[in-house]
């Protein structure tokens, strides 16, 4: 049983989303210490408080975004929590929390690293900067499903609102329409973007993208930039979101945006993966390339929860498979084989 320290809480996990980033760690494509516990988007109930934690959190149903900001570093102090220095140095680098220690140990006393809060477990410890009470409807009707707000929708929110700064009426392409990609489509629809062009492989995935709000589709095996140009009478799109993390799709995103357009990159890749882009085209055509890892917990999560509470985004339909904790490995195996549509979740507790 992990024990929370100052300004932390103990969460009994209700559900944890299965994310492709975890798979990158499992496959050794993204470095992370071993042994470690993955799982970085959770919903659950606060069952314990560390010193200084808000007493009103006890027994609350909560969701926890994967970026757990320290709230004190130079980036957090200027509102850029998605670049929190201690989070990246200590958690992503070492599997530790903000005091540079883990909360998990083997029976023999060996340290166990935590990827974010290490949510693929019955209990996890989370800094209070990343703990948010669920609104009434979500807590009652979508307690388990709310876990995917912590990465799938949290990541999409940051990309759409902070990185691309998408506006009503702008045209959009989304390359890769799985979990996060489908959330980007929903966010773009909620803003009023038009058209929304979904790019993926196979009729089934493209049909799912249209169900999430895409208005047009492109088969990813084609010349993506050329097909997007055809659908837009040669204008291309104001903003393109790349959600795969492949060389081919990274390069396609650059060529899919109009002069002065924005290519926003969300997909995580093997750290050895590199892409090539046409320098002169980017300079002359004023193309912006921006990376987006997630959103900003303190300011963006309340807005995201309100969208979900009011059903402006749908967190039920994207969840296509559910597993219990004993079968979590099967979920990642299916994800590796590209046999998961949308998002699957691990339901840890049945309450």
Question: What does the buried/exposed string (b/e) look like for 272-301 if buried means 16 or more CB atoms within 10 Å of the residue's CB?
Answer: eeebeeeeeeeeeeebeeeebbbbbbbebb
Query: To the nearest whole percent, how much of the chain has pLDDT over 90?
Result: 99
Q: What is the pLDDT of residue 327?
A: 96
Q: What is the pLDDT of residue 350?
A: 83
**Averaged confidence pLDDT in the chain:** 97
- Same domain? For 13 and 137 the reply is yes
Query: To the nearest whole percent, how much of the chain has pLDDT over 70?
Result: 100
* 323-346 average pLDDT score: 95
Residue 351 has pLDDT above 90, yes or no: no
Residues 307-328: tens digit of each pLDDT: 999 999 999 999 999 999 999 9
Q: 48 is in which domain, residue-wise?
A: 8-152+295-347
- Same domain? For 22 and 55 the reply is yes
- Same domain? For 138 and 35 the reply is yes
Residues 262-319: tens digit of each pLDDT: 999 999 999 999 999 999 999 999 999 999 999 999 999 999 999 999 999 999 999 9
Cα gap 144→44, rounded to integer Å: 8
Helix (H, G, I), strand (E, B) or coil at 204: helix
- By C-alpha distance, which of 63, 55, 67 is closest to 11? 63
Residues 57-98: tens digit of each pLDDT: 999 999 999 999 999 999 999 999 999 999 999 999 999 999
- Same domain? For 79 and 128 the reply is yes
Place of tokens 């409807």: 137
Token pair for 166? 């998408």
- Same domain? For 323 and 341 the reply is yes
pTM: 0.96
- Same domain? For 140 and 171 the reply is no
Helix (H) / strand (E) containing 49: strand 42-49
Query: Residue 228: which CATH number?
Result: 3.40.50.720
Give the count of domains, the chain. Answer: 2
Q: Is residue 220 part of a domain?
A: yes
Residues 21-34: tens digit of each pLDDT: 999 999 999 999 99
Query: Residue 99: which CATH number?
Result: 3.90.180.10
């Amino acid at each position: 049983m992990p024990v929370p320290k100052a300004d932390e809480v103990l969460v009994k996990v209700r559900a944890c989303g299965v994310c492709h980033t975890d798979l990158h760690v499992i496959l050794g494509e993204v470095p992370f210490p071993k042994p470690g516990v993955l799982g970085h988007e959770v919903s659950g109930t606060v069952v314990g408080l560390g010193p200084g934690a808000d007493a009103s959190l006890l027994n609350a149903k909560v969701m926890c975004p994967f970026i757990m900001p320290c709230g004190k570093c130079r980036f957090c102090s200027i509102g850029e929590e998605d670049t929190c220095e201690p989070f990246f140095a200590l958690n992503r680098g070492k599997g530790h929390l903000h005091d540079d220690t883990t909360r998990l140990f083997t029976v023999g006393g060996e340290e166990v690293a935590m990827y974010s809060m290490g949510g693929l477990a019955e209990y996890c410890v989370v800094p209070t900067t990343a703990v948010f009470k669920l609104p009434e409807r979500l807590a009652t009707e979508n307690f388990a499903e709310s876990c995917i707000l912590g990465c799938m929708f949290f990541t999409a929110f940051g990309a759409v609102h902070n990185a691309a700064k998408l506006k009503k009426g702008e045209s959009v392409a989304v390359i890769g329409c799985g979990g996060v990609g489908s959330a980007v489509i929903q966010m773009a629809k909620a803003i009023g973007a038009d058209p929304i062009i979904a790019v993926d492989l196979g009729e089934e995935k493209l049909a799912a993208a249209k169900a999430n709000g895409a208005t047009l589709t492109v088969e990813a095996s084609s010349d993506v930039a050329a097909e997007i140009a055809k659908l837009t009478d040669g204008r291309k799109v104001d903003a393109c979101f790349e959600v795969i993390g492949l060389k081919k799709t990274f390069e396609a995103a650059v060529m899919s945006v109009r002069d002065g357009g924005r290519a926003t990159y969300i997909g995580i890749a093997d750290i050895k993966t590199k892409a090539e882009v046409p320098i002169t085209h980017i300079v002359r055509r004023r193309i912006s390339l921006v990376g987006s890892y997630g959103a900003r917990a303190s300011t963006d999560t309340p807005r995201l929860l309100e969208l979900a509470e009011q059903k402006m985004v749908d967190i039920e339909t994207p969840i296509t498979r559910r597993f219990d904790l004993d079968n979590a490995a099967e979920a990642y195996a299916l994800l590796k084989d590209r046999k998961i549509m949308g998002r699957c979740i691990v339901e840890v507790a049945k309450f």
